[in-house]
Structure 1
């Protein structure tokens, strides 16, 4: 996952999408009367509130630059983490302290020397993978408690933050991308490229004869 998407984006899903599918997907958008980002510029009954397109078979929405949680889960999540901090001795806090010490010594953040030092420190202090994933490692149990708390919770289906960029209604297939199709994209069903092509062909067939396109 791209760092920008991880921090600021809302492209999530169980399965990554092959970027090589991009040209066919964008051509599908053009064939349906949308632009390459998923915008449908005709103000009619098919235009979504985000400027995309929706009919009985499928929905396409452009990337939502202003997506925020509208169901309350983000507030609940924030409150939980405020009340359940990592312990002082947790790997998560110890590595932050170590990295602050490196910065105070004038070692440039993300320089080769910086990464090497953090990599070695992490391995010595209980994280065998070193640099990779060290920023998210926890050994105080708070992540396990969070997983238990978050079980059966999450954003509601109508929450703006998790609305799909593409939704094929007959099977429930959903796809999300970061900024534009199909950058750092994810899908909820692990389909093949051939299956995707059949889906988009059905979507195109569903609008044949629609004189507004």
Structure 2
């Protein structure tokens, strides 16, 4: 357990989460329209669920909930009742995650699941939002392909033209995913 979490943190649980799962978990959050803290990233996105607030004299806590999952960013307030709530709950399985400050940092879970099961749970959560969009990691890769295309456009050679055509095909396939 990290020292800050041991002294000030909220993250506790029966089973420690492998930190190497963090990037994949956060990509799944981005796919669903949330960032690595559990906050919405797009104010224009329609979320299939509700944003709710737990009022407290020690600081309010806002979270997202639908029929499949609850996602609550790390709580920075001093209300012990709120501090003890998990940051993520998958309702169908009862699976819970708690973390320190951001997703999967010094994180604990209430069920000893493997990485593949966690990804299945996250896919179920995404389906519950009825989102059919290009995955976040593909969007990030497409940005890099666009940058490469911009750089290569200024060069004129047979090899460059071949690479440009190849990158355009890769970009097309990523958008189709």
Question: Distance between the aligned counterparts of 1:51 and 1:184, measured in 2?
Answer: 21
SS in 2 for 1:51: strand
CA deviation after TM superposition for structure 1 residue 36, in Å: 1.9
State the Cα deviation string for residues 39-83 of structure 1 (Å, max 9, x = none).
1265986113233321000011111011422xxxxxxxxxxxxxx
Structure 1's unaligned 5+ residue stretches are: 70-158
Question: Distance between the aligned counterparts of 2:78 and 2:113, measured in 1?
Answer: 27
TM-score normalised according to structure 2 size? 0.63
**Relative to 1, partners in 2 of residues 1:67 and 1:25: Cα closer, same or farther, differing over 3 Å?**
farther
CA deviation after TM superposition for structure 1 residue 181, in Å: 1.1
Aligned to 2:68: 57
What's the RMSD between the two structures over aligned residues? 2.0
Contact 1:17–1:185 (8 Å) recurs in 2:
yes
State the Cα deviation string for residues 96-145 of structure 1 (Å, max 9, x = none).
xxxxxxxxxxxxxxxxxxxxxxxxxxxxxxxxxxxxxxxxxxxxxxxxxx
- Structure 1: 4+ residue segments shifted above 3 A: 41-45
**Which structure exhibits the higher relative contact order, with contacts defined as CA atoms closer than 8 Å and separated by 6 or more residues?**
1
* Structure ID, larger Rg: 1
TM-score normalised according to structure 1 size? 0.53
Question: Distance between the aligned counterparts of 1:3 and 1:162, measured in 2?
Answer: 18
Aligned to 2:161: none
Structure 2's unaligned 5+ residue stretches are: 54-60, 133-177
State the Cα deviation string for residues 154-204 of structure 1 (Å, max 9, x = none).
xxxxx3121111100011110001011111000010000011011011111
CA deviation after TM superposition for structure 1 residue 209, in Å: 5.4
Alignment of 1:113-132 (within 5 A): none
Contact 1:16–1:185 (8 Å) recurs in 2:
yes
Pair 1:175 & 2:93 matched: no
Question: Distance between the aligned counterparts of 1:209 and 1:178, measured in 2?
Answer: 28
Aligned to 2:5: 5
Aligned to 1:155: none
Contact 2:100–2:106 (8 Å) recurs in 1:
yes
Alignment of 1:41-52 (within 5 A): 42=43, 46-49=50-53, 50-52=61-63
Question: Distance between the aligned counterparts of 1:178 and 1:167, measured in 2?
Answer: 16
